[in-house]
């Protein structure tokens, strides 16, 4: 026997020696497994295998949401050092998503949604995202279908979900209104990019930036003439779109340029005018005129000194706005401490609202 074959057999025997539970599948198949990665990665498995539970006493777990083959792929991704996002593929993403949602494995669920965001938007993907509670994927599919949806596809969406049909219809309306920037918002319309308008009296609730009109919380429901806005800096408020004859908001329309100013230290060359230059994960990517620096979205909005999406100097945490948030950004995630202060983002001078 060769040394390599001997080493492989030895490794397999070592792994087998850690198996302390048996998984039973609806097909009648069985699969031995080690409980340690299952319990570390899944609160559901951890609860099942806690002292006093039937599964802990019998050392047997019933698996009803996957076949043995599907679960084997899932299980292997839980082992130390085994996970990488490129192992979530178009072929296995649906099964992995179902399993990760059921067993509450957050990092794998997020990797599955990221993979789905890179696949073509279809009616099936839209309805699937709604069923699975994937908000980013649902919103992305609704927006993309709004641009190219056929009458037959609209009928399919209507048959599948009234809420999904409303999301696509709202996205269609937003697309039509993107060509009407800088107009006063005079009705409670959803999913519009807005900024403060002529009758604004709410001090700095908007953070000096942009927001999205949204559905009002039921406990704060207002009479006609008001609309809720989720501002990029995470504050949500209600504003007049006709109440008392006042109009607090302006429709921004398509944001295709932003200005970065005030970046310090080694990142000072990142200051300047950025224009939209393609998209990345269904959000616009902006590039500094005459240079390689980019603004892109991956988990949150980020600003990097070169045209790669694996690092950043600055970011705007906890914000999934459709365009780069205005206002002060942060150095969160950048640990060298040589890029202070963080910059401020604003619209170009000819697009800013006079204060």
How do 21-25 and 60-63 pair as beta strands? parallel
- Of 88-102, 210-224, 238-252, the one with minimum mean pLDDT is 210-224
Check residue 188 and give its pLDDT.
74
Check residue 182 and give its pLDDT.
62
Given a cut of 90, whether residue 223 has pLDDT beyond it is no
Mean pLDDT value across residues 290-316? 95
Distance of alpha carbon 281 from alpha carbon 162, whole angstroms:
26
pTM: 0.49
Residue 24 CB burial class (10 angstroms; 0-12, 13-18, ≥19): middle
Residue 334: C-alpha distances to residues 187, 270, 331, 337, 341 (Å) = 42, 15, 5, 7, 12
Longest dimension (CA), the chain: 88
Check residue 285 and give its pLDDT.
95
Q: For the chain, give the mean pLDDT.
A: 86
- Of 35-39, 207-211, 313-317, the one with minimum mean pLDDT is 207-211
9-63 pLDDT tens trace: 444 445 556 888 999 999 999 999 999 999 999 999 999 888 677 777 788 899 9
Residue 278 CB burial class (10 angstroms; 0-12, 13-18, ≥19): exposed
Given a cut of 70, whether residue 291 has pLDDT beyond it is yes
Q: By percentage, how much of the chain surpasses pLDDT 90?
A: 59
- Of 112-116, 329-333, 345-349, the one with minimum mean pLDDT is 345-349
Mean pLDDT value across residues 216-244? 78
Short-list 348, 224, 238, 240, CA closest to 286: 348
67-119 pLDDT tens trace: 999 999 999 999 998 998 899 999 999 999 999 999 999 999 999 999 999 99
Mean pLDDT value across residues 244-271? 92
Which structural domains are found in the chain, ordered by start?
3-116 (3.30.710.10), 133-171 (no CATH), 183-251 (2.30.30.40), 257-351 (no CATH)
Instruction: Let me know the angle formed at the C-alpha of 8 by 6 and 13, rounded to the nearest 5 degrees.
Output: 95
Check residue 175 and give its pLDDT.
65
Per DSSP (E only), the strands in the chain are 21-25, 30-33, 60-63, 183-184, 193-196, 211-214, 226-231, 236-240, 249-251, 257-261, 272-280, 283-288, 294-297, 301-304, 314-316, 327-328, 344-346
Kindly indicate the confidence band of residue 303, based on its pLDDT and cuts at 50, 70 and 90.
very high
DSSP 8-state secondary structure symbol assigned to residue 252: -
Q: How far does Cα 345 stand from its chain's mean position?
A: 22
Check residue 181 and give its pLDDT.
54
Residue bearing the bigger pLDDT, 280 or 224: 280
Check residue 4 and give its pLDDT.
47
Per DSSP (E only), the strands in 41-94 are 60-63
């Amino acid at each position: 026997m060769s040394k390599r074959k001997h080493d492989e057999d030895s490794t397999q025997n070592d792994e087998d020696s850690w198996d302390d539970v048996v998984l039973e599948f609806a097909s009648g198949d069985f699969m031995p497994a080690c409980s340690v990665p299952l319990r570390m990665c899944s609160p559901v498995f951890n609860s099942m295998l806690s002292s006093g539970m039937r599964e802990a006493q019998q050392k047997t777990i019933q698996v009803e949401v996957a076949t043995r083959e599907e679960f084997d792929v899932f299980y292997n991704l839980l082992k130390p050092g085994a996970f990488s996002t490129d192992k979530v593929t178009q072929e296995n993403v649906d099964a992995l998503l179902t399993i990760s949602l059921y067993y509450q494995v957050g990092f794998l669920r997020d990797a599955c949604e990221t993979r789905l965001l890179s696949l073509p938007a279809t009616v099936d993907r839209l309805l699937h995202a709604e069923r699975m509670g994937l908000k980013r994927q649902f919103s992305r599919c609704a927006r993309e279908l709004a641009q190219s949806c056929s009458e037959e596809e609209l009928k399919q969406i209507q048959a599948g979900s009234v809420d999904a049909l409303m999301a696509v219809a709202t996205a269609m309306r937003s697309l039509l209104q993107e060509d009407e920037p800088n107009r006063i918002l005079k009705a409670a319309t959803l999913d519009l990019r807005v900024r403060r308008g002529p009758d604004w009296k709410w001090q700095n609730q908007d953070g000096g930036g942009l927001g999205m009109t949204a559905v009002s919380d039921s406990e704060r429901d207002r009479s006609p003439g008001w609309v809720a806005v989720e501002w990029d800096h995470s504050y949500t408020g209600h504003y007049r779109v006709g109440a008392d004859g006042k109009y607090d908001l302006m429709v921004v329309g398509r944001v295709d340029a932003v200005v970065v100013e005030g970046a310090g230290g080694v990142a000072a060359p990142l200051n300047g005018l950025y224009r939209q230059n393609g998209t990345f994960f269904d959000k616009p990517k902006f590039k500094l005129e005459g240079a390689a620096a980019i603004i892109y979205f991956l988990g949150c909005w980020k600003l990097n000194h070169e045209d790669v999406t694996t690092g950043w100097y600055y970011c705007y945490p906890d914000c999934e706005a459709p365009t780069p948030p205005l206002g002060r950004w942060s150095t969160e995630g950048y640990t060298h401490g040589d890029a202070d202060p963080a910059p401020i983002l604003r619209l170009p001078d000819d697009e800013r609202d006079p204060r």
